[in-house]
Amino acid sequence: MIRPVNPYPVGLDLEGRRVVVIGGGSVAQRRIPVLLEAGAAVHLVSPEITPTLQALVDDGRIWWEQREYSTGDLEGAWYVVAATKDSLVNARVAAEAEQLRTFCVRSDAVTSGTAVTPAVVRRGEMMVSVLTGDRARTAEARDVVARALSESAVEAPEVDEKLRGTVALVGGGPGADDLMTVRGRRLLSRADVVVADRLAPQRPLAELRADVEIVDAAKIPYGRAMAQEAINEVLVDRARAGKFVVRLKGGDSFLYGRGYEEAQACAEAGIPCSVVPGVSSALSVPALAGIPVTNRGMTHEATIVSGHLPPGHPGSLVEWDALARLRGTLVILMGVKNTPAIAGALIDGGRAADTPAAVIVDGSLDGEVTHRCTLGSLSETIRDHDVRPPAIVVVGEVAGLPQVTTGA
């Protein structure tokens, strides 16, 4: 049933309450992180889901029933999101929610549900919601508010026109949305297409215009992944179609982010490409855990090394024996699975087994945790705490420094 849009603005307390999302595509991917941030117990029903949502399932943050929607799925729900690509299914979901007196948002028909999702601007503890009854006008009004809150001048229309047909490689930082750069957020707000990794900040995606195309380029370790060639093709094709494309990654695009490969693909296709550096997780995550990768009088070098291939692998380019002889800090990225082999290679190469070490999981995110240990006990630490990516390993005397408070 289509209703006149005259909504009553209200804030919902969803902490610990059942929220049902029907559909596992890009809309669900945009909405679920915001629901989780509000503390909702999210139950997802869909035959298929995106790789990013799969990662949330694997981490136990949401519940997923891999099937089509059926009557009864909304029982006990406080709030419902109908986000399938089938308008008939969304209509059935909205009808059941109506019978249960549960508020429901329909992604395909704003005025056909019993609730409307506002455009949101967040600045620290302040949240501003905008509703106009028209998606385009709502997004425009939200952008005006966002710019005003950021105390930045409204850019001339010709600036946005210059972005059409171009690609921006944006480093999103370690994961927390407020650690993304101002330039990155500004360009993201102007994007027509966003090609996003699962480690990129997710909340800013929920603030984008409804017509922005989001391409899930998640690379789950040892799981589902979008091929790099396919990512390059999307960047080039969308830019050739006159779109402004933002490639949003976690950390920094040029540090194990394949950013140069993507910039090269754009250059070969004649597509203008800009780079927005990101706050690298290799430096920021240890800092957030109170571990400096260098410290005066203690370290004269810090080495960032990829652990995605184990020592001895024919494809590895790392000289682990040489690294073992260094006295400074080793920061190991993408090495959770291979940490036991790496620790063994470093000890065999001469690094003392009692060298301090630390494993930092979900750096910058709400679930961040640090496990301090030694090089010799790294394997047991990974196993005993069931450590899963994303996690960063730090080896060196700096990991044994006394804990300091580094939270905001």
DSSP track, 64-103:
EE-S---TTTTTT-SEEEE--S-HHHHHHHHHHHHHTT-E
Give the CA angle between residues 117, 120, 122 to the nearest 5°.
150
Please report, for the domain that includes residue 38, its CATH number. 3.40.50.720
292 and 188 part of one domain: no
Weakest mean pLDDT among 136-140, 164-168, 362-366: 136-140
85 is known as an active-site residue: no
And the tokens for 176? 């927390």
**What is the structure's pLDDT at 4?**
47
Which pLDDT band, with edges at 50, 70 and 90, does 101 fall under? very high
% pLDDT > 70, the chain: 92
Whole domain around residue 189: which residue ranges?
Answer: 155-279
Strand partners, 81: 21, 105
DSSP secondary structure letter of residue 7: -
**What's the pLDDT score for residue 408?**
55
Let me know if 197 is a catalytic residue: yes
> Could you give the percent of the chain with pLDDT greater than 90?
76
Residue type, 366: D
Residues 265 and 286 in one domain: no
What's the pLDDT at 51?
92
Alpha carbon separation from 349 to 56, 250, 305, 310, 321 (Å, rounded): 38, 32, 16, 15, 5
Q: 202-213 burial, b for 16+ CB within 10 Å, e for fewer? A: bbbbbbbbeebe
Between 1-5, 50-54, 55-59, the lowest mean confidence (pLDDT) is in 1-5
User: For residue 64, is it within any domain?
Assistant: yes
Q: What pLDDT sits at residue 118?
A: 84
**CATH code, domain with 168:** 3.40.1010.10
Average pLDDT over residues 34-41: 95
Q: Do 257 and 174 belong to one domain? A: yes
Of 333 and 157, which is predicted with more confidence?
333
What is the per-residue pLDDT for 129? 82
User: Is position 105 within any domain?
Assistant: yes
What local confidence, expressed as pLDDT, does residue 140 receive?
80
Given a cut of 80, whether residue 2 has pLDDT beyond it is no
Distances (CA, A) of 73 to 37, 79, 207: 23, 12, 28
Higher-pLDDT residue of 2, 48: 48
Shared domain for 377 and 320, answered yes or no, is yes
pLDDT in tens, 225-277: 788 999 999 999 999 999 999 999 999 999 999 999 999 999 999 999 999 99
137-153 average pLDDT score: 71
Answer whether residue 57 is part of any domain.
yes
How far apart are alpha carbons 341 and 311 in whole angstroms?
A: 7
Total domains in the chain come to 3
Looking at 143, 177, 197, 216, which residue is catalytic? 197
Q: For residue 287, give the H/E element and its range.
A: helix 281-288
For residue 159, being part of any structural domain is answered with yes
pLDDT of residue 215 exceeding 60: yes
Better-predicted residue by pLDDT, 132 or 47: 47
Annotated catalytic residue, options 86, 178, 219, 337: 219
49 and 28 in a single domain? The answer is yes
